[in-house]
Structure formats: C-alpha cells, structure tokens
Amino acid sequence: MKYLEAIRLALGEALAEDPRVFLYGQDIAGTFGGAFKATKGLTERFPGRVLNAPISEDAMAGLAVGAALEGARPVVEFQFGDFATIAFNQFVNHAATTYWRTGRSVPLVARLPVGGTPGGGPFHCQMPEAWLSHHPGLVVVAPATVADAYFLLKDAIACQDPVMFLEHKYLYYHLEADFDPRRAEHLGLGRAAIRRPGTDCTLISYSGMVHEALKAAEMLSQQHDIEVEVIDLRCLRPLDTETILASIARTGRCVVATEAWPFGGIAAEVLSVVASQGFRWLDAPPVRLCAEDVPVPFHPDLFAAHHPDAERIADLVLETVRF
C-alpha cells in the first residue's frame, strides 16, 4: 500500500464509521479527487459528504471551525501546506483558543501536504510545522510511514482538539509498504517511535527526512561499524520528550535532522530539551542539520544543495561520534 492510499483508506473508514465526518477542500469532490488524488472515489461512496471549497483558505478553515463547534468532524484538505498562512488567523486565534476561552472543543483536522520536491519552488515546498507548533491548543502530526499515515489520521479525526496533519508530498507515491491495519502496530498520538535501535548516537527526525536518517544509519553501520538509534517523532506537539531522553541516556549523543529551516524550528526545540534535561548524559554537543536558511529554490541542483540528505546526515553523526 502506498502512503497516499493509506490516507485514502483512513478517510473512507472515518466517513463510514462516523456520520459527523465530512471532507472539504478545493477540487476534492467528483472525479478529480484533489490535487494529489487523496479523495478519489470517495464522492461516489459518500454523496454529500465530500465537498468542494472556494479558493479561499481562510474561508475553508473558518467553516471548519464553525462546523466543529456545532458537532461535526470536518477534515479540510489544503492543496499545499504553504497556504496554511492564509488560514493562520482561523487556526491560531480561533481553533487553538476556543476550548480555553469557552470550554467547547473544536475537533477539526487540517490536512497539509508539506515538504520539498525538485522543481516545486518557494510556494509549494515549505515545512510549516514550526509556525503551527508554536501555538498552544493545536496538535501537530507528521507521519513518516504508511502505517502512521493511516493510524495517525484516524486518531486525528477522533481527537477532540484541532489537529494539523502534515503529509509529506514526496511520500504520497514514492513510499509503499506491506500494510494490514488489523495486524500493524498502532502507536497513539503523542508517541515517538524508535525506527532503528542503536548505541552510539541518537538520530532524531520526522516526516520525509526519517527515511534519509535511516539510510544514513545503514551507511554508518556498514562503513564505520557505528550503530545509530533513529527516532521518528511522529507527533511534534505534544512532543514525546520521554522517548527522546531515554535514548540520549543510552547513546550519549544527539543529532537532529529535518528539511525545515533552522531558525526557531522543531530541531531547535528538541535540542533545547536534550541540552536542558539530558545534559548529564551527553558525551558530545547536540547538533542539528536543517535546510539552508533561504527560500526553497526551483532548480533541482539547487534544491539538492538546499535539503539535507543521507550522506550529509551521516557525516554529521560521524563527527559527533568522534568528538
């Protein structure tokens, strides 16, 4: 099953299981099925519950907040996560704060295709998780596997809080795995996963960069006999600090890899936790590897230079282990 197919499966099951659920987004109804075809085939199965939206992200998010307040379970698809900026007021001033102001839950899900692909440029490749995670009241999720694309979306729709669900667009069609929901491991919201055990360094990532981290860990094992523990954060807010610190206590070293920009990002938040709560276990300075601190370039060669990859991750881990 492909990553995108797991998302479509979760959406279909949520619609079938809960009459309060409806889908809302630009061009998602009918035969088109959205920019990435995540809702293809669902209009015919669930008439009147897969709805096209105007080209107004602010209006889409506002409708979702109102529907959630009235007892519905809206799942809003944005064509690209970059456009969440247009809906920022609705998310951070209304969805995130309403429970704390009124005691009424706002159980909505915003599906945001994020991350880079060569040729996408500065308006279609950004990682908005730092903007969204900064605000109390929002849950921010970034699945990196087929199983998590399915289970975390089901959990997000069931959650009583507003959830920002970040889907890496490169994984939609490039990632596939044997997957049976009845047999696969299901970690809940707020839990990180150890994707590869190790003893020499903790390598922390999320979303699409998890797969580059795993490649780097394999390279280091084969070429340098270094065993890296790879942690997939899965959920960025709340952050599973317990799993992070337990791993640091085992390895004594920490590298965080992400394709987001470095300043004020999730990587910085993780390093803050490690430095302030795990300092006594560290044998080397904790470090991060992020995208270059410039807008995402169009040209594939510049894009490759802009984003971290397995080789650059492996070099930084090697430097940390040899400190």
**Catalytic residue positions?**
124
User: What's the full length of the chain, in residues?
Assistant: 323
Contact in structure between 178 and 146 (CB atoms under 8 Å): no
Tell me if residue 109 falls in helix, strand or coil: strand
Q: How far apart are CA 306 and CA 192, in angstroms?
A: 27
- Among 21, 3, 2, smallest CA distance to 11 is for 21
284: amino acid identity, one letter: A
Strand (E) positions, 107-218? 109-114, 139-141, 163-168, 193-196, 201-205
Contact in structure between 318 and 255 (CB atoms under 8 Å): no
Q: How far apart are CA 232 and CA 144, in angstroms?
A: 8
- What end-to-end distance do the CA atoms of the chain give, in Å? 42
DSSP single-letter state for residue 297: P
The residue assigned the tokens 């807010």 is: 237
Contact in structure between 128 and 167 (CB atoms under 8 Å): no
Task: Enter the tokens of residue 271.
Answer: 């390093």
Contact in structure between 228 and 254 (CB atoms under 8 Å): no
| Residue 254 parent element (H or E) | strand 254-257
Q: How far apart are CA 197 and CA 102, in angstroms?
A: 44
Q: Return the number of other C-beta atoms located less than 10 Å from residue 222's C-beta.
A: 9
Contact in structure between 122 and 152 (CB atoms under 8 Å): no
